[in-house]
Amino acid sequence: MAWRTRFAPAPTGYLHLGHVVNAIHVWGLARAFGGDVLLRIEDHDRTRCRVAFEDALLDDLDWLGFVPDIGSTDSFRASRAVGGTPHPQRQSDNEGRYAAALAALSDRALTYVCTCTRRDIAQQAPHAPGEEPRYPGTCRAARHDAAASLARRACIADGDIAFHDGRLGPIRQSPAEQCGDVLVRDRHGQWTYQFAVVVDDMAHAIDVVIRGEDLLPSTGRQLQLAQLLDREQPLRWWHHPLLVHPDGRKLSKANRDTSIRERRAAGAHAAGLLGEAAFLSGLLPAARDLTIDELPALFR
């Protein structure tokens, strides 16, 4: 049976070159080494996600030529159409899955109610700008009543966690030091990225996570959450380089020059954008047109 990876964009904006870099790695590695690609729409954050962005990203994926093996772009469109049914790979359609996972942890006393605001945490555990705040565990001992807040944290055990990254080799992280107990649901009742992604990678039987290096700091805590949820299926990791501008600047979602929508409107071709993304992430020595069929050769 083929191993399974996923492409999991959040519809908080238009697809940009950074997504294309990720898609090149996901589809390229899958096609080179016998994997299947599952498409997941990560719209757990109701305040930032928009249906219009989901529509646009499905359309841009089709235009670029990235065809998922599990969860076609049409299956996502059909689920939104009149008479459509919830899609198993759209997070906002599967809130019950996260609720069940939270209940399983809570039954074993692995979660607690947290009433701390961001400001409380900043005061309790000062951190430098740009540094990740570490939750000091204030509410773990407080045993607040369930009604005190919708926010829940999962208890993260002390100590290091080791894993192997397919590109970077052995990695050790200490989530208890980095971030402390992980927020699972916020005070508005929204599921967090860290929790939803772990629950979904289990539910979708993902074998290999292929994503940008910017998410590497999250990997240890996600592994710990998966262990708390009794994940048995082994999970492997491949963190790829991010897009770097030729002058050395990192390109971010805010860089307007990277939006696929605008590049399309300006007359760009899919092969041109694929080649540019591959070059800017170090997969090609120079920018040139690159087709989907050529992706596996970049990794073999």
Binding site residues, ligand GLU, CB under 6 A: 8-10, 42, 197, 211, 215
Closest separation in Å from C-beta 222 to ligand GLU: 8
Minimum Å gap between C-beta 132 and ligand GLU is 16
Residues near 185 by Cβ (< 8 Å), separated by ≥ 6?
A: 98, 102, 150, 151, 152, 191, 192, 195
- Residue 197 C-beta: closest distance to ligand GLU, Å: 5
Of residues 8 and 226, the one with the C-beta less far from ligand GLU: 8
- Identity of the residue, 47 or 85, whose beta carbon is nearer to ligand GLU in the bound complex: 47
Q: Which is nearer to ligand GLU, 48 or 164 (CB)?
A: 48
CB-nearer residue toward ligand GLU: 69 or 120: 69
Nearer Cβ to ligand GLU (9/137): 9
Minimum CB–partner distance for residue 231 and ligand GLU (Å): 15
User: Nearer Cβ to ligand GLU, position 113 or 208?
Assistant: 208
- Least distance from C-beta 7 to ligand GLU, angstroms? 8
In the complex with ligand GLU, the residue whose CB is nearer, 42 or 113, is 42
Shortest spacing between CB 9 and ligand GLU, in angstroms: 5
**295 bridge partner residues:** none
Report, in Å, the least distance between residue 70 CB and ligand GLU: 16
